[in-house]
Amino acid sequence: MTQKLVLVTGGSGFIAGHVILQLLGQGYRVRTTVRSLQREAAVRAVLTEAGMSGGDSLSFVAADLLGDAGWADAVAGCDYVMHVASPVHPGKVANEDDVIVPAREGTVRVLRAARDAGVKRVVLTSAFHAVSWGHPHREHAFTEEDWTILDGPGVDAYGRSKTLAERDAWDFVAAEGRGMELVALCPVAVVGPLMGREVSGTNHLVQRVLDGGMPGYPNLFIPFVDVRDVASAHVLAMTAPGAAGQRFLLADGPAIAMRQVGELLRANLGDAAGRVPTRKIPDFVVRVGALFNPELRSLVPDLGYVKKPSNAKARRVLGWQPRPAADAIVAAAESMIRTPLR
């Protein structure tokens, strides 16, 4: 029987790389997009270093989220599409459209191409940013029924981009999908083993704690999930019978204090954690700094707020079993210690 063919968009990315590894490891043929085929050799080298098996079953197509060229070739003959590619720029950006436009236009562009090619199901990588931002602080377990309030406090361009892109995806499938299935995955802060020498996503936070770039810990709480578990959720969502038409939160559990990240590194890394800070930064210091620093300003609404995402649906419908967030944080740091970073 012919192996199923899966398209993974944005093959040079952190999450996409781990998705590709798991798909190939399970015997799928994989096609991935890069903005230029000149990137193919470098991406293959990174995947090989990360333990890729079945590399002969991996192929590349050039395609950009902001243009139509290449997408028909990318989806041709595919059984499934994993739309992972999206600009990742949390915090303050000079021009919000640089983040929002590619996310929205690219999502609809990929869905339209997939529909026209007869793809059965698309798995969309959304984010917790599309679920929990802008809400008033309260005792609340966030579920898949929650959506980010776009004009609420603390919502940045990235949060708007993920929320609007996911809503666009659901609207497109409902109005023009012609029976194509959609699943949306909403991971919390993604950390874990590096893909190559680049530090991506929330791994930057772990890096700043590890190398002492963060002088102390503001009173912030972050929910974490391991990138390998995010990848496994993508593979599960691709074929799970009950997943079609659903969104899933991906988290290990409630948010943990930033100071606990440092405590985990000091407890597990010995001398390599010598630069990890120990002091806390009082709320009033952050609030005063926020008067002059836009990055600090975005933190103020969440000071002292412990978000509680529920993973019950992912466990029940997908059979998803995430590892502890502590393991993901330590694995991220260990890979940084092993890898000469750029």
4, 162, 308, 313: which one is catalytic? 162
For this structure, is 162 an active site residue?
yes
Q: 195: closest CA among 3, 73, 19, 17?
A: 17
Q: Which residues pair with 31 in a beta bridge?
A: 7, 59
The CA distance from 101 to 98, in Å, is 6
For residue 49, the one-letter residue type is: E
Residue whose tokens read 């194509």: 180
Measured CA to CA, the distance from residue 19 to residue 251 in angstroms comes to 17
Distances in whole angstroms, Cα of residue 52 to Cα of each of 74, 82, 86: 21, 18, 23
Q: How far apart are the first and last CA of the chain?
A: 43
The label of the residue with tokens 């970073």 reads 341
The DSSP code for 217 is B
Q: Could you tell me if 189 and 253 are in contact, meaning their C-beta atoms sit under 8 angstroms apart?
A: no
User: Could you list the active site residues?
Assistant: 162
